[in-house]
Structure 1
Amino acid sequence: MEKPVEDPQHDGRGVLYPASLPSFHRLPPPDAVAHLVRWFWIPEWDLAPGRSSRQHVISFPASNLVVEPGFVALAGPTTRASHRDLAGRGWAVGALLRPAAVRLVTDAPGAVRDDYLRLDLPDLHAPVVAAMISDQPREDRRDRAVAAFAGWLAARGPSLASTDEAALLANAMTDLIDSDPEVVRVEQVAEHLGVSVRTVQRLAVQYVGLSPAAMIRRRRLQEAVELLRRAPDTDLSTVAADLGYADQAHLAGDFRSVLGFTPSAYRSQHRERSTDS
């Protein structure tokens, strides 16, 4: 299965309150590492003294490798929404890893679930930091940082031709779950890939760190958030039906278990934040 063509800069999924974002860019990976990275993301902020900005995220079901000014970290797959408080001046350069890249940084992605683990990777940290603190214009700095990050991955990771079949199948599984709204059950994933349900479950555990059912739920929640943001007056029962939920109660249950609030509460909060921005 081919990787779907996407425009990361215009994919707003994952961010709960875009109006409160600092400067934020998603950049496509170079072809040489497209089997390892879905996209690179770069936030930059410069807040007045005493001010802070809380960023709420419902992450994609994947791991992220992140370079910050002082360290490199692996953000493992998450089971719930998360947030980070920004203050002062700063930046980060992250790579949303595809399953084929996860083994470069951990043999057990499930072990870093909901964790932010610092890694000793000076050969990645140094060139990315050098790019981000250079005197070049912002766009050039971002491009150079992505090139340095991609170069590290290309040197450390396997080429597409040498990537093992299981890793590529895990990539295909993730692409399918994320891109096909008709896929709402693990059995459908197995059927599309021509493998058993047990194989799908094994791939998800070994290369993602979440169950395939959790991955499907995450996509549907991200889509629900997008729908509520783009069309806030849409009836919640219609949103639930459009996303394949049995009823509105099931949608609300997923919201509460992952986000900690109901769809109605999210809609209200989004309106308030958009008005205040």
Structure 2
Amino acid sequence: MVMEPDDTDSIGRAHLQDPAERTHTIARRPPSDHLRGWIRRFWIPVWDVPEGESSEQAVLQYPVCLSITTPAYSRFVGPHPGVSRTVLEGRSWGFGTMFAPAAGAKLLGHPVRDQAGSWCDLDEVPALAGLTGPVRALMAQAPEDPEIHARCSALLEDRIARLGAPDEEDLLINDVVEQVEQDRDLLTVAQLSERMGIGERTLQRLTVRRLGLTPLWLIRRRRLHDASVGLRSVHSLSDLAIRLGYADQAHFGRDFRTSTGLTPGEFAARWR
């Protein structure tokens, strides 16, 4: 088993960015230690796009729910099975929370499969209702100030702390996702099922209910995240395909293009 350091705090793995992009910055904050079962991180983008232009941000989202508050909207976002695309214009900011896999269903009060690929207003999530105004008031003062970020994080953490400690199933779904994300040798649902000590059908029902996604999706998404990193310094597409567990370069190319809209070669060319 090859376990690698937890790199889920690296936005770059999921963000299909162009290295020439200079319109935004992203600050990140870890959650308090006792809330890591519910929160992965906070992220705070600040952007300044020249008048008359726009900047599309494409993200291979992690299998988790998010919240994002900006001056224009405040949303709770379910896991996106494809590529999430957001267009930035003008000068503005966002305050975002990436929740842990277990948090989505607990916050929504129903299976995450009902929210996958969609969003609702933040105020429609009972545990988070009423946060939009205070966060906007704080962020408007100084959107790039780490102290402001800390105060916004504290507001949200106060709400999440009311969930109490994660229960057995919460810990299980967090562990399922962590195993897939960190072990590059996990390439099949059968391997994952054996690792977790539960049947494949039980695993399928668990991930669909708690994440709105299948176990196979988790593995494919991990491979695409790995690909987005590997393509930035790749010398051989065929070698990279093998390292990622694909049968050949053609299968890798089809999977990457279907998911991102770019061929591996087109994405790699951005980084040359």
Superposed CA RMSD: 2.1
Indicate the residue corresponding to 2:33 in structure 1: 31
Task: Measure, in 1, the Cα distance between the counterparts of 2:27 and 2:119.
Answer: 21
Whole-angstrom distance in 2 between the partners of 1:9 and 1:46: 24
Q: Any stretches of 5+ residues in structure 2 without a counterpart?
A: none
2:38–2:100 Cα contact (<8 Å) kept: yes
Tell me the secondary structure at the aligned position of residue 83 of structure 1: strand
Deviation digits for residues 21-55 of structure 1 (CA, Å, limit 9, x no counterpart):
61112221112321011111111112332222111
Percent of pairs with identical residues: 34
1:74-125 Cα offsets, whole Å, 9 max, x none, are 2221121132111112111221121221121251322222223223254221
Match of 1:49 in 2: 51
Q: Provide runs of 4+ in structure 1 moved above 6 Å.
A: none
- State the TM-score, normalized to the length of structure 2: 0.88
- 1:250 aligns with 251
CA contact (8 A) 1:35 1:100 kept: yes
Residue 101 of structure 1 aligns with an amino acid whose one-letter code is A
SS at match of 2:13: coil
Show CA shifts across 1:163-199 (max 9, x none): 2211210111011111111111111112121211122
After TM superposition, the score normalised by the length of structure 1 is: 0.87
Moved more, 118-127 or 92-101: 118-127
Q: 2:209 aligns with which of 200, 206, 218?
A: 206
1:143-165: per-residue Cα shift (whole Å, max 9, x none)?
2222222222213x2x22xx221
Q: Which moved more, 1:217-226 or 1:59-68?
A: 59-68
Name the CA shift for 1:135/1:83 in 2 (closer, same or farther; >3 Å).
Answer: closer
CA contact 1:111–1:209 (8 Å) conserved in 2: yes
- CA offsets per residue over residues 41-73 of structure 1, 9 Å max, x none? 111112332222111211112221222224421
Give the 3-state SS of the residue equivalent to 2:28 in structure 1.
strand
- Choose which of 79, 85, 91 in structure 1 pairs with 2:81: 79
Distance 1:245 1:193, change over 3 A: same
Q: Which runs of 5+ in 1 are unaligned?
A: none
**Shift, 1:18, TM fit:** 5.1
> 2:5·2:182 contact (CA, 8 Å) conserved in 1?
no
> Match of 1:27, as an amino acid?
R
Q: Please list, as runs of the form range in 1=range in 2, the aligned pairs for 1:120-131 lying within 5 A after superposition.
A: 120=123, 121-131=128-138
Q: Count residues with an aligned counterpart.
A: 262
Q: Which residue among 189, 194, 198 is the counterpart of 1:191?
A: 194
